[in-house]
């Protein structure tokens, strides 16, 4: 009897569980994964050059088009390099901030830091991007500041660098890079701070106790244990940069990025298969990145 009662209770619990899980699972399964699969499917179709209609037959022609045209390769490489640069810079800037938040700040300072890191995310993304265009414009606050600090020559020199430079910060890859780093920095700081907060103080004490200087403790204990957070943060910054199309179209040099290409191909150009193929690129790149991170032991401490 008792067994049956228990069983029915389990059954009821399972039912409620299913009830709770069904909506998010349906959302995830149909709306999210479903559309992703449809997208993937689209990339294996091709457009008829003459009628500009999608031919729903399996072909690798679109991928051939993607990977053989130098202009497309340029776009992929440009986006990838930007994502790598943004991720590395964000990590370097975020680490000390996260370390201070997690391990040194008192409760009040810590709360202030969390608010400070998250506050910019409450503002509209577009407002921030356009604000940055004004800040970085030829006669914007940035160049005004450089001028008053007597660093105008340095700025001019930076803008004179081929490829990354340009007529002004707002119309150069340097400017675009600054905006990207600014935008995604919170996504790096927060997971890093969370990972660093989870490192027990006794591990750091044990390291010092065994004779490690602070720098050795950092390299041998803090950094390896922060790697999962660093990996999580870099997945954010990396994938967000790979997929973004607004920042490159508002700030920076005229060169195309993957996101812009997707936007243009599925919109004005009407080449949905090529757009789909382009959007597969970030997925593949992130997949490769995760494999690399795993190989390097980023998830060993989990």
Partner 1 sequence: MLRAGPTVDMTPAIELRATHRAFGSVVALDSVSLTIAPGEFFALLGPSGSGKTTCLRLIAGFDQPDSGTILLDGEDVTNTPPFARNVNTVFQDYALFPHMTVAENVAYGLRVRGIARAERARQAGDMLDLVRLGEFGARRPHQLSGGQRQRVALARALINRPQVLLLDEPLGALDLKLREEMQVELKGLQQRLGITFVFVTHDQGEALSMADRVAVFSQGRIEQLDTPRVLYNRPQTAFVASFVGSANVVGREAAQILTGRDRAFAIRPELIDLLAAGEPAADGYVQCAGEIVDVLYHGASSRLRVKVDERTTLAVARSESAGGGVQGLTTGAHVRLAWRPDHAVPLQD
Residue 29, Cβ neighbours under 10 Å: how many?
11
Q: Which residues bind partner 1 (CB under 8 A)?
A: 200, 202-203, 205-213, 216, 220-221, 224-225, 297, 300-301
**Residue 191 beta carbon to partner 1: minimum distance, rounded to whole angstroms:** 17
Looking at the Cβ atoms of 89 and 207, the one nearer to partner 1 is 207
- What span, in angstroms and rounded, lies between the C-alpha atoms of 226 and 224? 5
- What span, in angstroms and rounded, lies between the C-alpha atoms of 233 and 242? 14
Looking at the Cβ atoms of 3 and 211, the one nearer to partner 1 is 211
Residue 115: exposed, middle, or buried by beta-carbon count in 10 A (0-12, 13-18, 19+)? exposed
**Residue 230 beta carbon to partner 1: minimum distance, rounded to whole angstroms:** 13
- What span, in angstroms and rounded, lies between the C-alpha atoms of 12 and 24? 20
Looking at the Cβ atoms of 22 and 206, the one nearer to partner 1 is 206
- What span, in angstroms and rounded, lies between the C-alpha atoms of 195 and 2? 45
Q: Which residue has the tokens 């005229």?
A: 254
**Residue 144 beta carbon to partner 1: minimum distance, rounded to whole angstroms:** 46
Looking at the Cβ atoms of 13 and 205, the one nearer to partner 1 is 205
**Residue 211 beta carbon to partner 1: minimum distance, rounded to whole angstroms:** 5
**Residue 223 beta carbon to partner 1: minimum distance, rounded to whole angstroms:** 10
Judged by phi (left if over 0) then psi (alpha if -120 to 50, else beta), residue 297 lies in left
Looking at the Cβ atoms of 124 and 202, the one nearer to partner 1 is 202
């Amino acid at each position: 009897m008792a067994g049956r009662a228990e069983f029915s209770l389990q059954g009821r619990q399972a039912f409620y569980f299913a009830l709770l899980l069904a909506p998010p699972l349906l959302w995830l399964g149909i709306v999210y994964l479903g559309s992703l699969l449809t997208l993937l499917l689209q990339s294996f179709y091709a457009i008829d050059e003459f009628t500009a209609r999608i031919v729903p037959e399996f072909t690798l022609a679109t991928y051939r088009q993607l990977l053989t045209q130098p202009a497309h390769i340029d776009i992929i490489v440009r986006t990838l390099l930007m994502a790598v640069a943004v991720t590395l810079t964000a990590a370097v800037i975020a680490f000390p901030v996260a370390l201070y938040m997690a391990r040194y700040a008192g409760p009040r300072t810590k709360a202030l830091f969390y608010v400070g890191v998250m506050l910019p995310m409450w503002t509209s993304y577009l407002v921030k991007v356009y604000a940055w265009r004004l800040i970085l414009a030829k006669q914007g606050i940035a160049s005004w500041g450089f001028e008053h600090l007597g660093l105008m020559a340095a700025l001019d020199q930076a803008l004179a660098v081929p490829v990354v430079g340009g007529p002004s910060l707002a119309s150069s890859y340097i400017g675009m890079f600054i905006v990207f780093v600014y935008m995604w920095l919170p996504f790096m700081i927060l997971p890093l701070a969370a990972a660093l907060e989870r490192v027990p103080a006794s591990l750091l004490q044990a390291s010092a106790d065994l004779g490690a200087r602070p720098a050795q403790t950092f390299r041998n204990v803090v950094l390896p244990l922060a790697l999962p957070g660093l990996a999580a943060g870099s997945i954010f910054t990396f994938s967000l940069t790979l997929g973004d199309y607004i920042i490159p179209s508002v700030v920076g040099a005229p060169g195309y990025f993957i996101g812009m290409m997707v936007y243009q191909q599925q919109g004005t150009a009407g080449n949905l298969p090529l757009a789909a193929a382009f959007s597969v690129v970030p997925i593949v790149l992130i997949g490769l990145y995760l494999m690399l991170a795993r190989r390097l032991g980023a998830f060993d401490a989990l």
